[in-house]
Amino acid sequence: SKVESNDTAKPEDNVNKTEDDDKEDRAAQSLLNKLIRSNLVNTTNQVEVLQRDPNSPLYSVKSFEELRLKKQLLDGVYAMGFNRPSKIQENALPMMLAVPPQNLIAQSQSGTGKTAAFVLAMLSHVEPVNKWPQCLCVSPTYELALQTGKVIEQMGKFYPEVKLAYAVRGNKLERGMKIQEQIVIGTPGTVLDWCAKLKFIEPKKIRVFVLDEADVMIATQGHQDQSIRIQRMLPKDCQMLLFSATFEDSVWSFAQRIVPDPNIIKLKREEETLDTIKQYYVLCNSKEEKFQALCNIYGAITIAQAMIFCHTRKTAGWLAGELSREGHQVALLSGEMMVEQRAAVIQRFREGKEKVLVTTNVCARGIDVEQVSVVINFDLPVDKDGTLTMRHTFTGLGAQDALGKRGLAINMVDSKFSMNILNRIEEHFSKFLSFVLCLTAFFGG
């Protein structure tokens, strides 16, 4: 749902956003999720499977043993602490490991086991005696490629004959040499150079091609073209696998260009529900009044852990500063911080070292911190085109429901524009916010 922004409340951070900024945001968020995630996200949704050949039986596995993996790999999987396949792995792994190999397009949110799945598929398909690249994986950024590389190294711990090379900027090789590592992971530009111009890789010998984070990838036009050029150099019977956290139309059309005759697996995001989350809103006239209202309820919200969302970095920085000056210990998560710094802030918050985390909607996109039971929308959550971004604010709370706890969301409304958004939120959830707190009535203004 869209909110008409015929108003002045334009997020100042986003005014001059370019395609590259957007891509950087997405890549940074994706990296952040990888850095802070230590286990699978909980999903209760069913996996949707669309088979290329609808007549062939649909296999799914409930255990890693059923996959008949090489011993070295099964040991690697267990050493990583995996007991059983995740929801998407149940369906994706049998398809990826089938003989003959099948192509796959898979979409599910971050943290559902996609990386582990394709890493296992690559490792399974390698012939270690052959000293040339057989699996090729492209990632949108250097940092993301390194993260995936780490998973390959971890999972292949007991399979040392399989070697890994990084096709990333700065990794300069001698002209005329041929790569002997069986798995190559890299960014599209360097991978393309290594295949086409420098010929370090013989693309015709590639058996498995993985394109990871397609949604981040397509945010850069150049990456799309490079990926397609790489794909065209591969043999027709090379297995093509594409993964994405989201599935807009643009991702879908790109996916179909990369992956011919695909099987398709989709796992819907957890539906957000407001049923067990108490909604409040506070009417204020200005930023300062909102701050005052926040101070008034501060004691109540810090009984548990709270996240406070602001629309811009500037407001988030200001608010964190003001709260600190009042003597409150708060953490600030902001877009200008390095990804590693951000991961450290989230980690501290997770460990309960701070009870309140102030952040921007954009920066906290897709981050779930399970123990958060209070969400304060200091500014109501809309993104740069006025689309509601409620989901990001509520997934953390959603997780509480499973534990039978109740969440609390406080929306701070300071203009007609935000009232309008609030109405949209109500519409979105087809439910009226259950409580109305007027600042003047309850907090004495």
CA nearest to 96, candidates 124, 74, 77: 124
User: Is residue 359 a contact point for ligand ADP (CB under 6 A)?
Assistant: no
User: Is there binding between residue 39 and ligand ADP (CB under 6 A)?
Assistant: yes
Element (H, E) at 362: none
Report if residue 91 touches ligand ADP, rule: CB under 6 A.
no
Q: Binding to ligand ADP by residue 101, rule CB under 6 A?
A: no
Which of 62/197 has CB closer to ligand ADP?
62
- Residue 86 touching ligand ADP (CB under 6 A): yes
The 10 Å Cβ neighbour count of residue 239 is 24
**Which CB atom, from 39 or from 55, has the smaller least distance to ligand ADP?**
39
- CB under 6 A: which stretch of 85-93, 166-174, 268-276, 369-377 binds ligand ADP? 85-93
**One-letter amino acid for residue 6 of the chain:** N
- Among the listed residues 87, 114, 342, 424, the single contact to ligand ADP using CB under 6 A: 114
Our finding on whether 220 is near ligand ADP (CB under 6 A) is no
Our CA angle for 401, 405, 398, nearest 5°, is: 30
CA gap 436, 372 in Å, rounded: 22
Of 295 and 339, CB closest to ligand ADP: 339
Closest approach of Cβ 86 to ligand ADP, in Å?
A: 4
Rule CB under 6 A: is residue 89 a binding residue for ligand ADP?
yes
What pairs with residue 376 in β-bridges?
Answer: 308, 410
Sheet strand arrangement including 330-333: 330-333, 356-360, 305-310, 372-377, 407-413, 277-283, 437-438
**Contact flag: residue 328 with ligand ADP (CB under 6 A):** no
From CA 83, how far away is CA 116, in angstroms rounded? Answer: 13
Tell me the closest approach of the beta carbon of residue 243 to ligand ADP, in angstroms.
7
From 112-120, 159-167, 314-322, 350-358, span contacting ligand ADP (CB under 6 A): 112-120
By CB under 6 A, name the one of 111, 133, 140, 156 that touches ligand ADP: 111
In the complex, the smallest distance separating the C-beta of residue 341 from ligand ADP, rounded to whole angstroms, is: 20
The bridge status of strand 263-267 relative to strand 47-50 is antiparallel
From the list 38-46, 121-129, 176-184, 271-279, the region that binds ligand ADP by CB under 6 A is: 38-46
Q: Which residues pair with 308 in a beta bridge?
A: 358, 376
115 and 148 Cβ atoms separated by less than 8 Å: yes
110 near ligand ADP, rule: CB under 6 A: yes
Among 6, 8, 18, 38, binds ligand ADP (CB under 6 A): 38
**Residue 115 touching ligand ADP (CB under 6 A):** yes
Nearer to ligand ADP, 82 or 247 (CB): 82
Three-class SS state of 191: helix
CA-based nearest residue to 222, from 248, 244, 189, 184: 189
- Is residue 291 a contact residue for ligand ADP (CB under 6 A)? no
Number of residues this chain uses to bind ligand ADP (CB under 6 A)? 16
Q: Which two tokens stand for residue 248?
A: 């807009």
CB of 409 to ligand ADP, least distance (A): 26
The smaller minimum CB distance to ligand ADP, of residues 116 and 439, is found at 116
Q: How far is CA 216 from CA 121, 393, 425, in A?
A: 22, 21, 27
Give the nearer residue to ligand ADP in terms of CB position, either 40 or 74: 40
Least Å distance, CB 214 to ligand ADP, is 12
Interface residue with ligand ADP, options 10, 37, 269, 391 (CB under 6 A):
37
- Determine, following the binding rule CB under 6 A, whether residue 226 of this chain makes contact with ligand ADP: no
CB 337 within 8 A of CB 345: yes
- Please state, in angstroms and rounded to a whole number, the distance separating the CA atoms of residues 67 and 101: 14
87 binds ligand ADP (CB under 6 A): no
CA nearest to 372, candidates 393, 343, 342: 393
**Residue 100, preceding bond cis, omega within 30 degrees?**
yes
Angle at 305 between CA 301 and CA 309, to 5 degrees: 80
- Asked whether position 247 contacts ligand ADP by CB under 6 A, the answer is no
Using rule CB under 6 A, residue 211 touches ligand ADP: no
> Residue 269 in contact with residue 391, Cβ under 8 Å?
yes
Q: How far apart are CA 215 and CA 152, in angstroms?
A: 22
Q: Which residues contact 324 (CB under 8 A, 6 or more apart)?
A: 330
Q: Of 50 and 80, which CB lies nearer to ligand ADP in the complex structure?
A: 80
Confirm or reject binding of residue 141 to ligand ADP (CB under 6 A): no
366 binds ligand ADP (CB under 6 A): no
How many alpha carbons lie under 13 Å from residue 383 in its C-beta half-sphere? 17
Shortest reach from residue 259's CB to ligand ADP, in Å = 17
Residues found near ligand ADP in the complex (CB under 6 A): 37-40, 80, 82, 85-86, 89, 110-116
